[in-house]
């Protein structure tokens, strides 16, 4: 499909959407009413996502979304109902209200936080809302979960993902994560709906996302529905705080690696938040890099402004988001190359409630990634990569009296990439390109039955980033369902087709990925695609004990892979590979204050096929176990013990060496004597397995007040029994390089 025909199709669809929603609004339900509102924290006005709102007399309700919004439709008109609003760590609130026929009852609720100590335990969420929620593969991560885990120097949202079943890393050194047998460039990271293309600091050791600015986190390991595109494997959706709407406040945190600050406060009809983080001591990184110095310097800054004025536009909320991060590796030797990376984000979002159960969201954003290699006097070649992404999104949602939901939306993504490379003869080439993707999606959620829910939809790529017309994944249907066979047991399943048109040039043989430039998949290749199946069961034995079991199967096609057999300039840099992965995941939770225990186990297989050669990718691990025990001593003392076990990762074994003669100067008489260098003889790719990995970590935290200042102290010990977990063998010497040794760390946080 060409661009002009795509524009016409998109214009027709947009007019159809507007006509449809105007018609639906005019036919708004007869005879019953709706309860709608936003739930916030009473101390700062922050939205509380995923809390329960229940109409007690009818035993019906809803959960709040990332905006704190809840909508309960088809409530019989009546003068008196009791609304119960509950959330972990907050005082449950009961409110008496009336519902008027064919009207929306607006009720915003502010919950007060409570200290959960051993002596007083607040019980919330006794009645589970969303028993028919179609959420297979979805994990919601709280800030408390991130803060309670032992810290590899400091709290990190990406490292917390690695404790979830189905998520793997290739070692302590990296925060890069691999989900259900797929590579890391197939994971989508969104910050307030904006794509971050390189979300890592320091060679991928840490995330660029400061946990202090996070309000909510949703992580889809697969099965994500039609409103989300661009990636094959997973989606990490991070929503930041709005900023304190009641008073000015701030915090400062210091660790062995960075110092960071946060400042927030009210503005007329809104609030703001500003954060900043800067590395100041890189010696701690030697523990991650086998005692080698790494002159890494990095920073990140963000801000968010929000505005909501009923006298301007009733029911509206406007957000402006900005983010910047940068990494610089400045080697002091003139014979060692320098490297740098940076991200820049800017976005505007308009969220609008209407006088019917229709709400919509419109956003425009810009995301920029830039990476550069400066060879100086070394033998390295200069590289320069830049990506600019301008995206416009429109999402419309309507909730019917039956509780069913209809969602329709569009996304226009304009991407421009440049990648300058220099060959051995000094010739510079640009293999970047540009393109526009216009996608539309629609889905219908069947939620009218208490014990059954379904999300049925599709995403259509009306115009592709790739100029080639052959797009086998233009239509991407997706289905997810939940059936609760008993009040405590739910069966879940999903199926979907996914597409990705961007990729990184990633070398699977690199132990640490130093430079991974982003490009649009070349026109001589088809877009990458996958077909995913998953089934699962959720069992809530009691209000404190639950077990989730999921099984998945993924088929991956047209995966761009570096051509290791490239010989001449006419050979393609990338070739298409196929892949397959499947496995079982188990997640057990027990939470009964003062104890909390989580156990996860993953049994998985991953394969990759390149030119008919089948092998295990480097992140394939057969068995993975994660055990976490938390204990609340009371008086704001907490302790956490974590034990991790993984079977060994694949690697390519060295069979031996031979001396190879290199001809650098054909006219030298000493060529035959001086230019012999050892060349490795390697076994078949990734047939070997490293030894098993296991590690025990401890952490202890204490919060206390001195006058009007609140302090939080965290101390952690990584690898308590100093397990010598192997990272890799050096090819030239055969030397064994291990991961993190016994490592004590500490952080202090001051809140005003």
Model confidence over 560-602: pLDDT tens digits? 988 877 777 777 888 899 999 999 999 999 998 899 999 999 9
pLDDT of residue 657: 61
Q: Provide the pLDDT for residue 198.
A: 92
Question: What confidence category does residue 393 fall into, taking pLDDT thresholds of 50, 70 and 90?
Answer: very high
| Banded pLDDT at 129 (limits 50, 70, 90) | low
Are 471 and 461 in contact by the 8 Å Cβ rule? The answer is: yes
Question: pLDDT at position 663, please?
Answer: 46
Contacts of 546 (CB under 8 A, 6+ apart): 538, 539, 540, 588, 589
Tokens encoding 578: 């196929």
Strands 296-307 and 93-99, sheet pairing: unpaired
- The pLDDT confidence band at residue 671, using thresholds 50, 70 and 90, is very low
Burial 7-22 (b: 16+ CB within 10 A, else e): eebbeebeeebeeebe
Nearest partner of 176 among 512, 434, 403, judged by Cα: 512
CA angle 179, 185, 189 (to 5 degrees): 80
Half-sphere exposure of 707 (CA within 13 A, CB side): 3
What whole-number distance in Å separates Cα of residue 293 and Cα of residue 287? 10
Nearest Cα to 704, choosing from 748, 650, 660, 653? 748
Q: Are 500 and 528 contacting, i.e. CB atoms less than 8 angstroms apart?
A: yes
Beta bridge partners of 608: 579, 615
- Which range, of 4-8, 246-250, 405-409, averages the lowest pLDDT? 4-8
- Comparing CA positions, the residue from 508, 639, 517 lying closest to residue 579 is 508
Task: Write out pLDDT tens, residues 29-77.
Answer: 456 889 999 999 999 999 998 889 999 988 888 889 889 999 998 889 8
Q: What are phi and psi of 17, to 5 degrees?
A: -60, -45
pLDDT (tens digit per residue) in 185-210: 999 999 999 999 999 987 778 899 99
Q: What is the mean pLDDT of the chain?
A: 85
Instruction: Report the distance separating Cα 357 and Cα 349, nearest Å.
Output: 20
- Note whether 747 and 154 are within 8 A (CB): yes
pLDDT for res 230: 87
Query: Distance of alpha carbon 269 from its chain centroid, rounded?
Result: 31
Which domains are present in the chain? 31-111 (2.60.40.1120), 138-237 (2.170.130.10), 238-652+687-751 (2.40.170.20), 653-682 (no CATH)
Q: CB within 8 A of 5, min separation 6: which ones?
A: none
Using an 8 Å Cβ cutoff, are 532 and 552 in contact? yes
Q: Does position 629 have pLDDT exceeding 90, yes or no?
A: yes
pLDDT band per the 50, 70, 90 thresholds, residue 256: confident
> Rounded to 10 degrees, what is the CA torsion of 328, 330, 335, 336?
-50
How many angstroms separate the Cα of 554 from the Cα of each of 531, 580, 581, 606?
Answer: 6, 6, 5, 9
Q: What is the pLDDT of residues 456-483, one digit of tens each?
A: 999 998 888 887 656 767 899 999 999 9
Contact 727, 738 (CB under 8 A): yes
Over residues 501-512, mean pLDDT:
79
- Percentage of residues in the chain having pLDDT higher than 90: 53
For strand 296-307 and strand 316-329, is the pairing parallel, antiparallel, or unpaired? antiparallel
Distance CA 218, CA 620 (A): 24
Count Cα neighbours of 570 within 13 Å in the Cβ-side half-sphere: 0
Whole-angstrom Cα Rg for the chain? 27
pLDDT in tens, 239-251: 999 999 999 999 9
Phi, psi (deg, nearest 5) at residue 140: -100, 130
Residue 88 DSSP SS3:
coil
265 preceded by a cis bond (ω within 30 of 0): no
**417/430 Cα distance (integer angstroms):** 10
- Cα separation of 379 and 295, whole Å? 20
d(CA 13, CA 25): 18
Instruction: Say how far apart CA 444 and CA 479 lie, in whole Å.
Output: 10
User: Which tens digits make up the pLDDT trace of 699-752?
Assistant: 999 999 998 899 999 999 999 999 999 887 776 677 788 888 898 999 999 988
């Amino acid at each position: 499909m060409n661009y002009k025909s795509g524009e016409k199709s998109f214009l027709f669809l947009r007019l159809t959407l507007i006509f449809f929603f105007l018609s639906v609004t005019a036919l708004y339900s007869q005879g019953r009413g709706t309860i709608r509102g936003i739930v916030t924290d009473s101390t700062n006005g922050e939205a509380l996502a995923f809390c329960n709102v229940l109409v007690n007399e009818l035993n019906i309700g809803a959960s709040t979304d990332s905006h704190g919004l809840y909508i309960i439709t088809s409530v019989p008109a009546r003068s008196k109902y009791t609304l119960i609003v509950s959330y972990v760590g907050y005082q449950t609130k009961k409110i008496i209200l009336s519902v008027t026929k064919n009207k929306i009852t607006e009720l915003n609720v502010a919950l007060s936080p409570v200290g959960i100590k051993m002596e007083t335990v607040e019980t919330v969420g006794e009645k589970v809302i969303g028993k028919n929620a179609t959420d297979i593969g979805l994990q919601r991560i709280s800030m408390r979960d991130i803060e309670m885990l032992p810290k590899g120097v400091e709290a990190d949202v990406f490292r917390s993902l690695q404790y979830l079943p189905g998520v793997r890393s290739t070692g302590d050194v990296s925060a890069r994560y691999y989900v259900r047998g797929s590579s890391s460039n197939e994971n989508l990271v969104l910050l307030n709906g904006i794509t971050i293309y390189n979300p890592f600091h320091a060679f991928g050791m840490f995330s660029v996302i400061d946990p202090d600015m996070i309000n909510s986190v949703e992580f889809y390991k697969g099965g994500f529905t039609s409103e989300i595109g661009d990636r094959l494997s997973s989606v990490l959706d991070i929503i930041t705080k709005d900023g304190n709407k009641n008073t000015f406040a701030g915090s400062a945190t210091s660790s062995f690696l960075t110092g960071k600050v946060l400042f927030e406060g009210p503005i007329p009809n809104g609030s703001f938040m500003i954060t900043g983080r800067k590395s100041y001591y890189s010696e701690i990184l030697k523990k991650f890099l086998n005692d080698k110095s790494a002159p890494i310097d990095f920073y990140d800054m963000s801000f968010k402004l929000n505005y909501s004025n009923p006298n301007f536009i009733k029911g509206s909320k406007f957000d402006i988001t900005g983010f910047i991060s940068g990494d610089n590796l400045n080697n002091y030797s003139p014979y060692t190359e320098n490297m740098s990376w940076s991200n820049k984000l800017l976005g505007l979002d308009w969220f609008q409630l209407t006088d019917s159960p229709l709400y919509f969201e419109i956003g425009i954003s810009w995301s920029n990634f830039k990476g550069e290699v400066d060879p100086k006097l070394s033998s390295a070649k200069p590289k320069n990569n830049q990506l600019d992404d301008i995206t416009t999104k429109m999402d419309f949602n309507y909730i019917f009296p039956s509780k069913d939901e209809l969602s329709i939306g569009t996304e226009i993504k304009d991407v421009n990439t440049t990648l300058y490379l220099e060959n051995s003869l000094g010739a510079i080439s640009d293999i970047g390109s540009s393109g526009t993707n216009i996608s539309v999606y629609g889905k219908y959620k069947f939620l009218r039955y208490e014990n059954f829910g379904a999300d049925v939809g599709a995403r259509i790529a009306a115009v592709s980033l790739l100029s080639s017309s052959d797009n086998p994944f233009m239509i991407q249907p997706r289905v997810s369902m939940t059936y609760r066979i008993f009040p405590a047991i739910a069966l879940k399943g999903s199926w979907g087709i996914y597409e990705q048109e961007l990729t990184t040039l990633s070398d699977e043989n690199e132990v640490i990925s130093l430079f991974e430039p982003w490009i649009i998949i070349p026109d001589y290749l088809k877009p990458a695609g996958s077909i995913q199946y998953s089934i699962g069961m959720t069992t809530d034995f009691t209000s404190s004990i639950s077990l989730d079991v999921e099984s998945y199967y993924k088929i991956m096609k047209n995966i761009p892979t570096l051509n290791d057999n490239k010989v001449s300039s006419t050979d393609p840099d990338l070739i298409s590979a196929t892949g397959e992965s499947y496995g079982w995941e188990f997640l057990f939770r027990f939470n009964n204050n003062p104890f909390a225990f989580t156990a996860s186990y993953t049994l998985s297989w991953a394969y990759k096929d390149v030119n008919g050669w089948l092998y295990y990718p480097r992140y394939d691990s057969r068995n993975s176990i994660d055990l976490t025990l938390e204990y609340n001593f009371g008086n704001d003392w907490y302790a956490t013990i974590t034990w991790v076990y993984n079977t060994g990762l694949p690697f390519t074994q060295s069979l031996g060496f031979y001396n190879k003669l290199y001809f650098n100067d054909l006219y030298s008489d000493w060529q035959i004597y001086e230019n012999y260098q050892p060349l490795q003889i390697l076994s078949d790719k990734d047939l070997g397995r490293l030894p098993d990995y296991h590690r025990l970590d401890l952490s202890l935290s204490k919060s206390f007040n001195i006058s009007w200042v609140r302090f939080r102290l965290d101390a952690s010990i990584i690898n308590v029994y100093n397990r010598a977990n192997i990272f890799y063998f050096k090819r030239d010497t055969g030397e064994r390089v291990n991961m993190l040794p016994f490592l004590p760390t500490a952080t202090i946080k001051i809140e005003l």
